[in-house]
Structure 1
Amino acid sequence: MADQDDIFAPYDAPAGGWGALAATAKALRRQSVVARGSKALLAANQPEGFDCPGCAWPDPKHTSSFEFCENGAKAIAWEVTDRRVTRAFFARHTVSELAAKSDLWLEEQGRLTEPMRYDPATDHYVPVSWDEAFAMIGRHINAMATPHQAEFYVSGRTSNEAAFLFALLGRLVGTNNFPDCSNMCHEPTSRGLPLSIGVGKGTAVLEDFEHADMILSIGQNPGTNSPRAMGTLREAAKRGARIVVFNPLRERALERFADPKSTQDMLSSGAKIAHLYCQVKIGGDLAALKGVMKLVVAADRASRAAGGPAVLDDDFIASHTHGFDAFIADLDATGWDEIVETSGLSRATLQQVADIYCAAKSVILMYGMGITQHRHGSENIQQCVNLLLLRGNIGRPGTGISPVRGHSNVQGDRTVGIDEKPTAAYLDRLGAVFGFEPPREHGHGVVTAIEAMIRGDVRVFIGMGGNFVAAVPDTPLVKTAMRRLDLTVGINTKLNRGHLVHGKDALILPCRARSELDEQGGVLQSVTVEDSMSFVHASGGLLAPASAELKSEVDIVCGMAKAIFIDRHTNIDWDGYVADYDRIRDAIEAVYPDLFRDFNTRVRQPGGFRLHNPASERIWKTASGKANFMVFKGVAEDPARAATPGLLRLATLRSHDQYNTTIYSNDDRYRGIKGDRMVVFMNAADMAARGIKPGAKVRLRTIADDATPRVVENLTAIAYDIPPGSIGAYYPETNPLLALSHHDRLAETPAAKSIPVLAEAMA
């Protein structure tokens, strides 16, 4: 048995601060790009620079010289590294050899430099020309029995321009199969939120955080996943806003944070962030929200009975909402015993939250994947909206709901057409602008795409960025299915696991990074992205590309299109789009004339522009014409599993040295882990009940409806401050435990934050 102390030591310093500065410098040195990387960092998130490839937190109107965070710096350092993966590298290593390497090792090899083709005779990737690669794609696409045998996957790194053309390409092929990274993270926002307020985006903007009296943070760890948000929270806490946190783990940044841009913070122990930290059980957010709302309604009833003022916003509820009576009836029918048991929070703690909420004039609720990646992720979000509606906390200054997106343009990709369930209005406009009849049948998201692969109904997979194989549920099943495909294509900047789990034919197509110059026909081009608060702004690189052989994402999409449609759709000027990205933006405006009016003009304004968000103006694009109080019966995350003896709920986690599936090191500074990712965080009482000692090796088994064994072994047990019945471990290492069938029923998002498992000590 290992000693827990060998890999774990609690972190007592504030998040950010000197630790963040040291980590930034270390990342630049590790990639041997101190000068080049520093130049890139100074241009990140600047009006005339490029958008950080990390999170989607918006840029302030008045930028400083340093608009990057520690993890953004790591992402940029990883991107501008001086290491290269050349044809000589692939000649030295078979694919089988590479497949045995860790994800960290693969990423550390550096930037891809030229297109490569898999050679089954030698088990090597070998060089291929761009024209040959595009021709191979064209042959495979045109040989399919039906257009629905192709999957067009998109990562949130993809620009609006490339995503728009990729969506056009797929629909010209004849399918709406567009699985994308949103399916795995914020799809409940896209599907569940519109039923409440009529739009699948947040309503709050940065200025609202300057006026909020209370900020409720649910299911997120911004210190790691969106560190630039911490500056906003720090300023809010400093001026007296009450910040209340619901999260199973005590994330260090939400307790105390030192802003590296603040001399005062750097010379002190930082600023206290959370006024109240509520460690809710995994799967208990919905119960906690219902408990708070019951107490708010009770406070309103008590005040009225005593002749006092209303606590609820009667005028707002009457004028702007629908379903209030049914909602209240459900709250009244929900018992306190089940609320307390399921949430893991006492009634007294929930009363504290309710008191803060009732006293606040303006409230923002911000949330992350800690509540979206659940069986009832959509319902979790709808209950968040219900809480805000009670006191009119949407559509006025200092209020709103704020989904914190985890990838820099995941929201923008969806806006410009990457959607497996497109609206009829979008398809009508797309068909009218480009002169064809788009497919109307709904396509595949991630879950249904994997199901189709397993059935053998997919022949071609084209991935625009990302690391699909490492990110998805049921990893062993997916690997087997991917290897049966006729063709897999990975459009990436760096080597990753997806290139090593490939089809019979496989291509690696290297693209330019966002920090690199994109010159077409002697003219520098820029792309656009949309942040998590609906602002669209330009992004232009400044560094020389890592290789002369690299193409932009736009160029790659258009190259594929010309090869696929060599004798069809000749009215589309693909070469013209490559030569001038303004033409792509003109086409986007033509398809979305209201949303992107004067696109090329407005995006050239400093900071860009915000897309119209009706709910921010209390215009409700719902079937009722109002914001809807949504009813969810009961409080249980998964009632069928609740009584299983020994049940634990596993949340898969991202370490602080990680961005999505990209691993920067095996450390997790804020959680105190050094040099190991095969760990499981457990409550001490849960460990004792199972005979598991700190440092012991643990086996986790999934409780699922099918007979497929799902096991991960050799996880080191760490006694940690986490609620009883809740455990945490890193992804992608524990993705094999996530059953494909374990997902949100409306959004089909895999429930990676609440996997039912059993834990046992290994002999």
Structure 2
Amino acid sequence: MASKPPSGDPVQDAPRVAAPRQSAAGLPAVAHSLRIAQQQMGVTRAARTLLKVNQKDGFDCPGCAWPEGDHRHTAEFCENGAKAVAEEATLRRVTPDFFAAHPVADLATRSGYWLGQQGRITQPMLLERGEAGGDGGDRYEPVSWERAFAIVAEELRALDSPDEALFYTSGRTSNEAAFLLQLFAREFGTNNLPDCSNMCHESSGSALSETLGVGKGSVSLEDLHQADLIIVAGQNPGTNHPRMLSALEKAKSAGARIISVNPLPEAGTERFKNPQTPQGMVRGASLNDLFLQIRIGGDQALFRLLNKLILDAARTDPTVVDEAFVAEHTHGFEEFAAAARAADWDETLAATGLDRDGIERALAMVLESKRTIVCWAMGLTQHKHSVATIREVVNFLLLRGNIGRPGAGVCPVRGHSNVQGDRTMGIFERPAPAFLDALDREFGITSPRHHGYDVVRAIRALRDGDAKVFFAMGGNFVAASPDTEVTEAAMRTARLTVHVSTKLNRSHAVTGARALILPTLGRTDKDIQAGGRQIVTVEDSMGMVHASRGNLAPASPHLLSEPAIVARLARAVLGPASLTPWEEFEKDYGSIRDRISRVVPGFEDFNARVAEPGGFQLPHAPRDERRFPTATGKANFTAAPVEYPELPPGRLLLQTLRSHDQYNTTIYGLDDRYRGIKGGRRVVLVNAEDARELDLADGSYTDLVSEWRDGVERRARGFRVVHYPTARGCAAAYYPETNVLVPLDSTADTSNTPASKSVVVRFERQ
């Protein structure tokens, strides 16, 4: 029997702290997964649902984008995947009676955990708040789908320019829905298509597009299994991508070595207890061969010095550098080499906080490896100098020919399950002209050519009155975005905010003058349209495209699928003048895929290929052909100056991060089992020596105050200090609670990604 949602918010003012774990997964992960599944779904529904997760005839996990191999385990999911499925397939329901009992002012006081625990939204809901100071309503009320679409059409048609509308997309949106949304936005007349990529891997795409010509990773799952050396930098697989641990374990068993580069020791890479095998469950496997506990933001300096040392080694052993590859396939080597040779040991040690022995041990592993992969996530992408850092990683791989070689390459590990596919489908504020040309030819429209707003620019546009309608396809924009107070104030200036959602979140309580919640099918739900049962497709972190088929009856008869919502909205807004067959797209998603196959390269014969079990892999020119579609026609070495954050006295560098009981802004619980935190999220992890110097006793409470050049005070109140083995000069705390500390204008050069991993903070004790 599934349990009821909590009626009140749990008290979080006294979290309990124990020593951090030194192993991940195992029996505790299995037990916790089953307990959460039973609480949300009940035993029978849980079994029927979990056994379909990530199966070839099942549905794609709504969590992370880690790929599946050809051979699938019976239980092809991790602990956090089970939590994600349980929350979506829950038996709990949020009905109009719930909204009648909870005014928006009440919802605004609730934690993200409490909101998410209430269950699936069952009907479209409308809030008529009115302009500031007006006599509008104070709570959501049920509304028909026809009326909801009419309201959106009314507000969009009233805009002075299409560019006053914003169409945001979460990474869980299917390929079919994403393609329709960008088509509708461009037929409407705007490229304002901000998405969650802007806040996470935009730095990866910017750096890889410039250096390799393709803004995606170049490796497959099989490459990981064949690698000699895997460097995991700025990433925590144990919490954020737990199924990656199985791939690392398999690589280790084949002889690979693993270097972890991280300010925090992480249980998953220390020891992985694989719940799929009896031996793994009991003993586990140590994954790390070397742990480099780097200072936050020091990764560019580390890779620059490694490149210098590789060049130095080539003076006595010319085979150290793949000279044939460099000569035939790369551009800019001499300028890069001059910059690398100028790298300084003392500066690197200061920037990284590492010792010489650790770096030399890493170099020895690099030189012994013929096939090297570098994996990374937000620890590299969310700094001012993130793009330059990832370019340096590319330099490191190019030097030894580790692009376009089996078992080698770049591996940016994406988050949400289709965040990469959404970008492939055209969700991008700066689309390539070739994509727009193909779209226009296929649909007989004229897409705008000027660039639209990314996330940061969208918030500014709302704040400044340059945007008036905000439409979100999934996600929790308010909680995910930086500078929380600025973001919330900006959202409240909108004339209309619309959220296509499965469950409640903070964004539903921070609204424009009018607000709509449009409830949609989830990945676990059967999707039956006039043309029969439908499938959707997704693209994983390594460019594999495959089908997803829900197996549960929808949470309510009043739900529409995401493609149906976009199709009906487009017809309501564009009217009969639009020649796009929106009705056909809603009826049969195969007709959407037919159009995708004629617009998006790599998707030829889409319907036939995705019908194959396991799907198909998209082409990747650097990997497949050692062809680099860059401006120079070759892979580009770069030579950016080395940057790293510098701290004033008495300050620490804060990184925002996830607990083990959350996925992005979805909070599954109030514990972080691997870090020893229970019963609360307002904790700040501080090195014990730094804490003593700052007079921060373990268990004391403090406000975190960020410091930025604009002089604005940004404060996160009431955090329990936890002495923790993080790198010196560094601290860590969970988001979204600490997003309030991230200035809107503190972003990465080139990519404009919020610099959430390098926030200068001071501590004001309570």
- TM > 0.5 fold call: yes
Shift of residue 5 of structure 1? Answer: 10
Report the Cα distance in structure 2 between the residues aligned to 1:453 and 1:507, rounded to whole angstroms.
17
Report if the CA contact (8 A) 1:3-1:694 is conserved. no
1:193 to 192, 195, 208: 208
1:654 aligned partner, one-letter code: R
- Residue 559 (1) aligns with residue 558 (2): no
1:684 aligned partner, one-letter code: A
Report the Cα distance in structure 2 between the residues aligned to 1:180 and 1:166, rounded to whole angstroms.
12
Residue aligning to 2:296: 282
Residue aligning to 2:234: 219
Report if the CA contact (8 A) 1:4-1:718 is conserved. no
1:602 aligned partner, one-letter code: R
Q: Which moved more, 1:230-239 or 1:160-169?
A: 230-239
2:585 aligned partner, one-letter code: Y
- Residue 252 (1) aligns with residue 261 (2): no
TM-score by length of 1: 0.97
Report if the CA contact (8 A) 2:305-2:344 is conserved. no
1:17 aligned partner, one-letter code: G
Q: Could you list the per-position Cα deviations for residues 518-544 of structure 1 after superposition, in whole angstroms to 9, with x for gaps in the alignment?
A: 000161000000001011111111110
Residue aligning to 2:464: 455
Report if the CA contact (8 A) 2:93-2:121 is conserved. yes
Shift of residue 478 of structure 1? Answer: 1.0
Residue aligning to 2:588: 580
Residue aligning to 1:159: 174
Shift of residue 238 of structure 1? Answer: 2.4
Report the Cα distance in structure 1 between the residues aligned to 2:66 and 2:713, rounded to whole angstroms.
39
Matches for 1:299-378 after TM superposition, within 5 Å: 299-301=313-315, 303-304=316-317, 309-378=318-387
Residue aligning to 1:59: 68
User: Would the alpha carbon gap of residues 315 and 514 (structure 1) be closer, same or farther in structure 2, given more than 3 Å must change?
Assistant: same
1:714 aligned partner, one-letter code: G
- Residue 644 (1) aligns with residue 648 (2): yes
Matches for 1:1-400 after TM superposition, within 5 Å: 7-12=16-21, 14-120=23-129, 121-268=136-283, 270-301=284-315, 303-304=316-317, 309-400=318-409
Q: Could you list the per-position Cα deviations for residues 120-150 of structure 1 after superposition, in whole angstroms to 9, with x for gaps in the alignment?
A: 3330100000000000000000000001000
Report the Cα distance in structure 1 between the residues aligned to 2:137 and 2:440, rounded to whole angstroms.
45
- Residue 464 (1) aligns with residue 473 (2): yes
Q: Specify every segment of 5 or more residues in structure 2 that has no aligned partner in the other structure, as ranges.
A: 1-10, 130-135
Q: Could you list the per-position Cα deviations for residues 70-127 of structure 1 after superposition, in whole angstroms to 9, with x for gaps in the alignment?
A: 1000000000011000001011111101111111000000000000000333301000
Report if the CA contact (8 A) 1:491-1:508 is conserved. yes
Matches for 1:525-540 after TM superposition, within 5 Å: 525-540=534-549
2:746 aligned partner, one-letter code: H
Residue aligning to 2:614: 607
Shift of residue 596 of structure 1? Answer: 0.9
Secondary structure of the residue aligned to 1:630 is coil
Shift of residue 745 of structure 1? Answer: 1.6
Report the Cα distance in structure 2 between the residues aligned to 1:58 and 1:354, rounded to whole angstroms.
30
What is the percent sequence identity of the aligned residues? 48
Report the Cα distance in structure 1 between the residues aligned to 2:266 and 2:415, rounded to whole angstroms.
17
Report if the CA contact (8 A) 2:531-2:587 is conserved. no
Secondary structure of the residue aligned to 1:698 is strand
Report if the CA contact (8 A) 1:293-1:354 is conserved. no
Report the Cα distance in structure 1 between the residues aligned to 2:550 and 2:41, rounded to whole angstroms.
20
Report if the CA contact (8 A) 2:531-2:588 is conserved. no
Shift of residue 13 of structure 1? Answer: 5.3
1:282 aligned partner, one-letter code: I
Q: Could you list the per-position Cα deviations for residues 15-46 of structure 1 after superposition, in whole angstroms to 9, with x for gaps in the alignment?
A: 01001101101111221432212211111111
Report the Cα distance in structure 2 between the residues aligned to 1:4 and 1:458, rounded to whole angstroms.
38
Report if the CA contact (8 A) 2:262-2:294 is conserved. yes
Q: Which moved more, 1:460-469 or 1:382-391?
A: 382-391
Report if the CA contact (8 A) 2:21-2:673 is conserved. no
Residue aligning to 1:424: 433
Report the Cα distance in structure 1 between the residues aligned to 2:203 and 2:114, rounded to whole angstroms.
33
Secondary structure of the residue aligned to 2:674 is helix
Report if the CA contact (8 A) 1:322-1:626 is conserved. yes
Matches for 1:675-686 after TM superposition, within 5 Å: 675-686=679-690
Report if the CA contact (8 A) 2:525-2:550 is conserved. yes
- Residue 442 (1) aligns with residue 451 (2): yes
1:573 aligned partner, one-letter code: P
Shift of residue 708 of structure 1? Answer: 2.0
Report if the CA contact (8 A) 1:16-1:259 is conserved. yes
Shift of residue 643 of structure 1? Answer: 5.3
Superposed structure 1 runs of 4+ greater than 4 Å apart: 2-6
Secondary structure of the residue aligned to 1:43 is coil
User: Would the alpha carbon gap of residues 421 and 342 (structure 1) be closer, same or farther in structure 2, given more than 3 Å must change?
Assistant: same
Count of aligned residue pairs for this structure pair: 749
Q: Could you list the per-position Cα deviations for residues 634-685 of structure 1 after superposition, in whole angstroms to 9, with x for gaps in the alignment?
A: 3x224xxx25222311100100000000001110000110111000000111
2:633 to 604, 625, 628: 625
Shift of residue 361 of structure 1? Answer: 1.3
Q: Could you list the per-position Cα deviations for residues 429-453 of structure 1 after superposition, in whole angstroms to 9, with x for gaps in the alignment?
A: 1111111111010000001101111
2:113 aligned partner, one-letter code: L
- Residue 667 (1) aligns with residue 671 (2): yes
1:396 aligned partner, one-letter code: R
Report the Cα distance in structure 2 between the residues aligned to 1:731 and 1:643, rounded to whole angstroms.
22
Report the Cα distance in structure 2 between the residues aligned to 1:267 and 1:154, rounded to whole angstroms.
42
Report if the CA contact (8 A) 2:13-2:680 is conserved. no
2:660 aligned partner, one-letter code: H
Secondary structure of the residue aligned to 2:320 is coil
Report if the CA contact (8 A) 1:237-1:272 is conserved. no
Report if the CA contact (8 A) 1:691-1:761 is conserved. no
User: Would the alpha carbon gap of residues 238 and 72 (structure 1) be closer, same or farther in structure 2, given more than 3 Å must change?
Assistant: same
Residue aligning to 1:755: 759
Report if the CA contact (8 A) 1:191-1:200 is conserved. yes
Report the Cα distance in structure 2 between the residues aligned to 1:379 and 1:175, rounded to whole angstroms.
30
Secondary structure of the residue aligned to 2:167 is strand
Report the Cα distance in structure 2 between the residues aligned to 1:210 and 1:31, rounded to whole angstroms.
36
1:738 aligned partner, one-letter code: V
Shift of residue 4 of structure 1? Answer: 12
Residue aligning to 2:7: none
Shift of residue 756 of structure 1? Answer: 1.4
1:753 aligned partner, one-letter code: K
Report if the CA contact (8 A) 2:15-2:681 is conserved. no
Secondary structure of the residue aligned to 1:392 is coil
User: Would the alpha carbon gap of residues 314 and 199 (structure 1) be closer, same or farther in structure 2, given more than 3 Å must change?
Assistant: same
Compute the RMSD of aligned alpha carbons.
1.4
Residue aligning to 2:705: 701
Secondary structure of the residue aligned to 1:272 is coil
Q: Could you list the per-position Cα deviations for residues 309-349 of structure 1 after superposition, in whole angstroms to 9, with x for gaps in the alignment?
A: 52111111111111111111101222111110001111221
User: Would the alpha carbon gap of residues 13 and 637 (structure 1) be closer, same or farther in structure 2, given more than 3 Å must change?
Assistant: closer
Q: Could you list the per-position Cα deviations for residues 580-630 of structure 1 after superposition, in whole angstroms to 9, with x for gaps in the alignment?
A: 0000001111212x4211111111111111111001021101111111111
Report the Cα distance in structure 1 between the residues aligned to 2:295 and 2:71, rounded to whole angstroms.
39
Secondary structure of the residue aligned to 1:145 is coil
Report if the CA contact (8 A) 2:15-2:677 is conserved. no
2:623 aligned partner, one-letter code: S
Report if the CA contact (8 A) 1:33-1:77 is conserved. no
Report the Cα distance in structure 2 between the residues aligned to 1:669 and 1:466, rounded to whole angstroms.
25
Report the Cα distance in structure 1 between the residues aligned to 2:108 and 2:46, rounded to whole angstroms.
29
Report the Cα distance in structure 2 between the residues aligned to 1:672 and 1:707, rounded to whole angstroms.
35
Report the Cα distance in structure 1 between the residues aligned to 2:395 and 2:18, rounded to whole angstroms.
40
Shift of residue 235 of structure 1? Answer: 1.2
Q: Could you list the per-position Cα deviations for residues 135-172 of structure 1 after superposition, in whole angstroms to 9, with x for gaps in the alignment?
A: 00000000000010000000000000000000011111
